[in-house]
A and B are shown apart, each in its own frame.
Chain A
Amino acid sequence: MDELNSLMQGFAVAMTLPNLGFMLLGLLLGILIGVLPGLGGANGVAILLPLTFSMNPTSAIIMLSCIYWGALFGGAITSILFNIPGEPWSVATTFDGFPLAQQGRAAEALTAAFTSSFVGAFFAVLAITFLAPLLAKFALQFGPPEFFAVQMLTFCSFIGMSKDPPMKTLAAMMLGFALAAVGMDTVTGQLRMTYGFTEMLKGFDFLIAVIGLFGIGEILLTMEEGLAFKGKSAKINFRIVWQTWKELIQYWRTFIRSTLIGCWMGITPGGATPASFMGYGMARRAARDKESFGKGNVEGVVAPETAAHAAGTSALLPMLTLGIPGSPTAAVLLGGLLIWGLQPGPLLFVEQKDFVWGLIASMYLGNLVGLFVVLTTVPWWAAILRIPFPVIAPVIIVICAIGAYTVHSSIFDVIMMLVFGVLGYLFKKLRYPMAPLVLALVLGDMAESSFRQSMLLSQGAVNIFYSNWLVGSLMALSVFLLLLPTWGALKNLLRRREARAYLR
């Protein structure tokens, strides 16, 4: 039981007093971010990243990952009490959470939501504990072609599994790659697409893109929808928590189902949002009383929350072992690792044992502590939501600007953030997905270098991508996912043709 030993050492790292303090601070900041509109997991972590530059990497990642847990918890509060999903992945929680709050059962709904978040995340962390070392050991044998194949698989699965139009998914992704290519080419040292601007030499930082796309874009959208906070208040006491916990045991099937969905969607980069919808949909399909869903069924809160947290947590598994994040927030955490000089990937488990196991241990602790923090502090967060929008909106814009500035202390970045913000608003309205854009921006350099190294190995022959069974099957799977949307379009076309022939 190598893993258990390493994990115990990890607990020793995470349990030191300063680290516990950072954990608590991270959780509180995270819940705050999750509650406020326009600040979410991804851009919240991006904005707070510069604060951790002066800390040691282990404490920093513990605090950042706790911000992430906090944001996951916080999203549930606004969806249940205010019918406003603070995060995209808590949209499905509003379906049954808000009706419950309207019936005066807010405390029950909140307890159910937090508990299922905890359960989902807990099992995902278990999966990380035991799968990550295996995957890392396996990935140690990877060469450039294998890495490129895994990256290819990541991007093709976006096109194959996304609900957005495939051509728009492709366009968003390629824009990300193109922006990543701006600046100095790391291999030849040539300048690409800078057109004489010195600001462009470093290229576009994805943290700026994340803050603009998700932060400013979201505020503009919120403005358009016209926010009116009409919330229910909630007081949670121990008796209700205890009662709800006893009641929740009967939903064990939903817990298992949603956890599996979430882990799968998190490891393959489906992300927490589709996972939560899928968890909700599957629970409704399996339930005996389908009609009660959407009218205030506790199971309708349990299913999406469990799935969202399982997905959000397991997204860190490919990030740590392969250097490929499963979600935009995981991508920001990856960016943090790079800034502290830690190269995510299989070697991380060999060279930075303390760091990795400290992080995994902090996931267990962070979730457990988070559950209690959030259960005890709900009324305060609900009060924050009563601050009127004309105050919240400009404050969030200022926070975003500060966040964009601190990344490189560059004013040009602040201007780029606004450009990305407008782009984010347009993209969201026109159904261009943003996750592939961000991931392509993060992975662009890596994908390019593994592609070029593979090409060097084979002297330009493409057959290196099917030269052994591993690369071959990864590539075949990618092509299959890539062609998945065409299959659907083809079926539609045939059906329409048949219908027309029939009418004639």
Chain B
Amino acid sequence: MSDQEQGAGLNRRIPEAGVAALLLAAGIIVITDSLRVGIEWADDGPKAGYFPFFIGILLAFSSGWTLLQTLLGWSRETNLFSQWSELRDVGAMLLPTTVFIVAVPFLGLYFPGALLIGYFMKRHGDFGWVTTVLTALGVPLTFFLIFERWFLVPLAKGPIEAWLGF
């Protein structure tokens, strides 16, 4: 990373407007769905959309307000959300985590967990293979003992555990 890039980053207005727009969309979904199930009174009392309708209105109003404020002050906003390097660090955490979570439905919790720990120790730390492998296998094994053996709470398991006979 060069010196010029230091200090460069994502302007705050983009995520600010994005989150506000997302919340506004959520508000509109709530309103339309409330209208679908009915916001008026039935014979036996208020219908199912009666209460959420107000929630949707307030959600749309408050996030619409933030969105409007952000758009009006678009060119004046100079604050950074994060520097690019910081965002890269967040990505370095978020991407492997996403891969881990996507793997869970197929492989269960234990082996993707071991892989995640192993990957991190190799990629971001300077550990030898022995330490890495022992930690990566030891931690899920400990969880296995705590959850499945002592507290009798079964966790998600995949084909590898089935092959091992659990």
A-side residues, CB < 8 A to B, are 50-51, 53-54, 165, 167-168, 170-171, 174-175, 177-178, 181, 185, 187-188, 190, 192-193, 216, 219-220, 223-226, 388-391, 393-395, 397-399, 401-402, 405-406, 409, 411, 414-415, 417-418, 421-422, 425-427, 429-430, 432, 448, 451-452, 455-456, 460
Nearest B-chain residue to A166, judged by Cβ: B62
Q: Provided the pairs A224-B90, A388-B125 are in contact, do residues A411 and B82 lie with their beta carbons within 8 angstroms? A: no
Interface size counted on chain B using CB atoms at 8 A: 69
| A51-B153 in contact (CB<8A) | yes
| A429-B62 in contact (CB<8A) | no
Interface centre among A168, A174, A452 (most CB of B within 10 A): A174
Other than the known A175-B23, A398-B139, A456-B45, what 20 A-B pairs have Cβ atoms closer than 8 Å?
A168-B62, A170-B62, A174-B56, A175-B59, A177-B55, A178-B26, A178-B55, A178-B56, A219-B93, A220-B94, A223-B93, A389-B125, A391-B125, A394-B113, A398-B109, A398-B143, A402-B147, A418-B101, A422-B94, A455-B50
Nearest B-chain residue to A159, judged by Cβ: B62
**Residues of B150-166 whose CB lies within 8 A of A:** 151-156
In Å, the complex CA distance between A392 and B27 comes to: 38
In Å, the complex CA distance between A390 and B116 comes to: 10
Nearest B-chain residue to A412, judged by Cβ: B105
| A397-B100 in contact (CB<8A) | yes
Chain A binding surface SS class:
helix
Smallest beta-carbon distance A154→chain B, Å: 16
| B97-A185 in contact (CB<8A) | no
Total of A-B residue pairs, C-beta within 8 Å: 179
Interface centre among B50, B51, B90, B104 (most CB of A within 10 A): B51
In Å, the complex CA distance between A402 and B144 comes to: 11
In Å, the complex CA distance between A406 and B155 comes to: 7
User: For B59, what are the chain A residues with a Cβ–Cβ distance below 8 Å?
Assistant: 171, 174-175, 177-178
Smallest beta-carbon distance A493→chain B, Å: 15
| A193-B30 in contact (CB<8A) | yes
| A174-B27 in contact (CB<8A) | yes
In Å, the complex CA distance between A188 and B116 comes to: 45
User: For B156, what are the chain A residues with a Cβ–Cβ distance below 8 Å?
Assistant: 405, 409, 411, 414
